[in-house]
Amino acid sequence: MKKGIHPKDYRFVVFQDMSNGYQFMTKSTVNSKEKITWEDGKEYPLIKLEISNTSHPFFTGKMKLVDTAGRVDKFKNRYKKHLEAKS
């Protein structure tokens, strides 16, 4: 293993799955402007995730559409005239 290529500034960070509210804490070097108060009463940086192991179809066994940014609606609005002309 090469020396000097791994970061040394690990700290505790809270990750939150925005699709179901699940939160977990682990060590990370990722930066965040947001903070959250954890169960121990201390404040930690917060990283928001769109999907985690508690909401991913592979781990849950349930197939569901993940559309956090409204991509389907944006597509339909963008090509509305074209779709109406075809029908």
Q: Which two tokens stand for residue 87?
A: 């029908």
Residue 84 counted as domain residue: no
Contact in structure between 13 and 27 (CB atoms under 8 Å)? yes
pTM above 0.75, yes or no: no
Residue 51 counted as domain residue: yes
Host domain of residue 54 = 11-61
Q: Give the number of domains in the chain.
A: 1
Residue 67 counted as domain residue: no
Residue 32 counted as domain residue: yes
| pLDDT tens track for 50-73 | 877 777 666 566 665 555 566 677
Residue 70 counted as domain residue: no
Q: What is the pLDDT of residue 80?
A: 78
